[in-house]
Structures are given as structure tokens and as C-alpha cells.
Amino acid sequence: MHVRVELPAGPIIEYLSLCTAIAEAVHPVSARYYQGIECIVNKMVTHHVPMAPPTPNEKWPFPVEFQSVLLSEGGRTLDQLLPDRADADQMSALELPLEPGQPRQMVELAMPYRLDENDRRALQEILHNLPPLQYPISDADQAAFLDTWFRLKERPAWEPVLVTTAYVERRKAAQPAALAEHRQALQEEFKSDRIEALNGHHVPVPVLMGGSFISRQQAIAYLERRGFSYVSAELAAGAEAKDGPAAPEAERKRESKRASVGPRVREKQSPANPRAEEGDSKGARKIESSGSESSGSGASQSLANNSSVTAGKVARLKRVMELTGLGRSSIYNRMDEGSKHYDSTFPRSFKLGSGEAGATGWDEDAVKSWVAAQAAARPK
């Protein structure tokens, strides 16, 4: 299945929103996706197989139904006796030859297969001769489509399998696994410094978690490394519905231009360790925006309207306790995923040195922002 991810709008994209968009593209469930050719999800191929009848006490290892096939005196099936069929050669290729000495008994076995690129191209050529499809498909629409399909002379030798509610439910059940897979993959890329993450104040963060943002350019680079194509969500909902899907090359150029106005992160620090002492404000990162693209998220809008944001100083544990009013154990419980007090929005600590036993610190601005968010969330 062709996978095209609908990227959220804006020069930066929230980490979990990107993972959710990928999971939806890999296992789509939206009715908007299942239109036209996308309503054909598999193909049913009929094989003619020589088969000896089972003995009374013999059972097949899996439930299966066979249909006996009539053979001519020359051992040919009905399809082979109709040379005028446009797909006679294809039908012959699907049959397994009888071996000498075997009884001339043959059965029909229908098996589902995934569509490949050749199948999709064949569908595109004849789709204009078929009734339009849109999920959910009623029994009447399905019957009309299949009736027209079998009356077409120039059609593939297989039978189309149309999307059903059960098929969509299976895709929905598979989404959590895809979501977890790409969360883990992005975490690994973050640890290997292939991507950088920002918090809600557009300051680089030491931990990639919910509420973290990735630049649009880096998100696109990740999708390309995974072999996915992409389209802007607003285009998919608007212009795409009017003019059809954008060509991959045209969409790539459009996204490249869009990503070029996204945030650029550069680090200014002295050759020496910039955070060796508490309160040292050297090593602050500046995030610059070279464009002002409109975004639905507050973070994206703020980034577009501000030319630069400078990170605050490092806060040690005592300072974090003063700012939050929490004790040492309460702070670490909020960072521990195994704790019942775990808070995915709480700022994560980071090492100030290269050694395992080195001191740790927090981004003071991030801690202050967390405190402000807690105060704003309290009922009035």
C-alpha cells in the first residue's frame, strides 16, 4: 500500500503528533482516505489445483472450500477453451499443470493477495469505466461495481476485494503498534543527534517527550529515510479533494520551500565547558526563525513572530525545589515512568558533564514554564 503522511501545519511539528500522523498513514481508518482506487484493498486470485479427495477420516489443516472444475477430454478447463477472452493467457498462467499419472480431478482455490504497483496501474486504466467507490460501501454499490467489473473485457484476471468495516477495524487495531514503533525510532534518532527537539518556548531540550517539537525539515528528512511520501494536512483536506493528489515531485518541492522557512537552531558556546558551574548562562542556544508561516499551534505562531529566543540558566536540584515547592523524591517521581506520580510534561534533568556520575541540572525557564502551566490549569 502506498504510504503518504499528512504533515501537521507549521514550521515545527509536535513529536507525538508526527507519530500519530505516521500511524494513520500506515494503517488508515479515515473515510476520507477510502475513495476511488483506495477502496480496492486486495485482489482475489483463483488457482486451478489438482487435488485428490480426502478420505472420510481425513481433515484439512485449515478451513477451506473447494469448487470442482470440469475438464475436457484433452484436460483443459473452460477458460482455456475460450480463446477469445482478453485474459486467456493470464488465466492459463494461474493454473498448475497436472502431473502424468494423476487422476484428472481439479479444484478451484481462491486466495487473497496484496495489490502491487502493476495491479494499481491496471486499475487506474479501467477505473473510469467502473462505478465510483466511496467508503462505507453499501451492498447495492458493491454489487453494481462487481457486476460492471465482470462485464468488462479489458480487465485483470483477478477479482477486486473491496474495503469493509471489518477491514477498517483491523487497521485501527494495528495503529498503536505503528505509533509505538515510530516513537521508539524517533527517540533513537534523537539520541544519535540526527534530530533536535524544542520545548514550548522553542528552547532545545535534553529529552524528547510529549510536548517536544521537531522542525518541519527534520520531520521530512525522517519520513524520507523511512521511505514515506508526505503532503501538508491542509492540502490533503482542501486542494487535494478538488484537484486530486499532488504529484510526489511537486509535493516534495512545495514541502522543501515550506521547510526552508522553519526554525534553525544554532549553538553559541565557549570552547570550555559552558555549564560547568551553577548559574553559568554561557552556552545558551539561540533559535531563529527566517519566516513567518501561519500555524495552528501557539508554539509555531510564537516562533514565527519572534526573531530570537535565548535559553535561561541551568537550575540545580535545590533551585528546582525552590521553584516548584516539591521535595527531592517528588521531583524524581515525576520523571520516573514507573511511578504513579509520573508527569510527562515535567522538565527532564540532563548531565552537565560527560561522566556517568557527573552533576545534573534542569533548564530553569522550562521549570518556570511548568509551574506557570500548573497554576493556569487550576480551577478558578
Is the pLDDT at 25 greater than 80? The verdict is yes
Flag the least confident range among 223-227, 239-243, 310-314: 239-243
pLDDT band at residue 21 using 50, 70 and 90 as cut-offs: very high
User: Could you tell me what percent of the chain has a pLDDT over 70?
Assistant: 61
- Shared domain for 290 and 372, answered yes or no, is no
Residues 96 and 47: their CA atoms lie apart, in Å, by 8
- Shared domain for 237 and 92, answered yes or no, is no
Name every residue whose Cβ is closer than 8 Å to that of residue 191 and which is 6 or more positions away in sequence. Answer: none
* Residue 360 CB-density burial (10 A; 0-12 exposed, 13-18 middle, 19+ buried): middle
Per the document, the length of the chain is 380
If we measure between CA atoms, which residue out of 326, 227, 195, 214 comes closest to residue 259? Answer: 214
Does residue 371 form part of some domain? yes
Is the pLDDT at 338 greater than 90? The verdict is no
- Shared domain for 154 and 196, answered yes or no, is no
Average pLDDT over residues 266-275: 39
Does 16 or 377 have the greater pLDDT score?
Answer: 16
pLDDT band at residue 356 using 50, 70 and 90 as cut-offs: low
Flag the least confident range among 54-63, 285-294, 354-363: 285-294
Flag the least confident range among 27-31, 92-96, 225-229, 231-235: 92-96
Does residue 65 form part of some domain? no
- Shared domain for 20 and 169, answered yes or no, is yes
Neighbour tally for 380: CB within 10 Å = 2
User: Could you tell me what percent of the chain has a pLDDT over 90?
Assistant: 30
pLDDT recorded at residue 151: 92
- Shared domain for 287 and 174, answered yes or no, is yes
Tell me the residue range of the domain where 335 lies.
313-380
Neighbour tally for 313: CB within 10 Å = 17
Name every residue whose Cβ is closer than 8 Å to that of residue 216 and which is 6 or more positions away in sequence. Answer: 7, 10, 11, 12, 13, 255, 258, 259, 262
Residues 129 and 217: their CA atoms lie apart, in Å, by 41
- Shared domain for 215 and 335, answered yes or no, is no
Name every residue whose Cβ is closer than 8 Å to that of residue 223 and which is 6 or more positions away in sequence. Answer: 5, 7, 22, 229, 230
pLDDT recorded at residue 89: 54
If we measure between CA atoms, which residue out of 217, 205, 190, 199 comes closest to residue 293? Answer: 217
Residues 357 and 182: their CA atoms lie apart, in Å, by 31
- Shared domain for 252 and 226, answered yes or no, is yes
- Shared domain for 172 and 240, answered yes or no, is yes
User: In the numeric block, which cell numbers belong to residue 218?
Assistant: 527534520
Residues 42 and 112: their CA atoms lie apart, in Å, by 6
The one-letter amino acid at 252: R
pLDDT recorded at residue 300: 38
Residues 30 and 39: their CA atoms lie apart, in Å, by 12
pLDDT band at residue 344 using 50, 70 and 90 as cut-offs: confident
Name the β-bridge partners of 331. none
Is the pLDDT at 352 greater than 80? The verdict is no
If we measure between CA atoms, which residue out of 214, 207, 190 comes closest to residue 362? Answer: 207
Name every residue whose Cβ is closer than 8 Å to that of residue 347 and which is 6 or more positions away in sequence. Answer: 199, 205, 362, 363, 366, 367, 370
Does residue 53 form part of some domain? no
Residues 364 and 346: their CA atoms lie apart, in Å, by 12
Does residue 272 form part of some domain? no
Residues 319 and 86: their CA atoms lie apart, in Å, by 80
15: left (phi over 0), alpha (psi -120 to 50) or beta: alpha
pLDDT recorded at residue 61: 54
Beta 159-162 vs 229-232: how paired, if at all?
A: unpaired
Average pLDDT over residues 353-359: 63
pLDDT recorded at residue 313: 79
- Shared domain for 30 and 170, answered yes or no, is yes
Residues 139 and 146: their CA atoms lie apart, in Å, by 11
- Shared domain for 305 and 351, answered yes or no, is no
Is the pLDDT at 41 greater than 70? The verdict is yes
Does residue 154 form part of some domain? yes
Average pLDDT, the chain: 73
Residues 212 and 148: their CA atoms lie apart, in Å, by 51
Residues 104 and 97: their CA atoms lie apart, in Å, by 11
pLDDT band at residue 11 using 50, 70 and 90 as cut-offs: confident
Flag the least confident range among 85-89, 341-345, 363-367: 85-89
pLDDT recorded at residue 167: 94
Does residue 47 form part of some domain? no
- Shared domain for 146 and 205, answered yes or no, is no
Average pLDDT over residues 184-203: 87
Query: What are the pLDDT digits (tens) for 138-147?
Result: 999 999 999 9
What is the number of domains present in the chain?
Answer: 3
Query: What are the pLDDT digits (tens) for 102-132?
Result: 445 667 778 899 999 999 999 999 989 999 9
Name every residue whose Cβ is closer than 8 Å to that of residue 85 and which is 6 or more positions away in sequence. Answer: 79, 91
- Shared domain for 202 and 302, answered yes or no, is yes
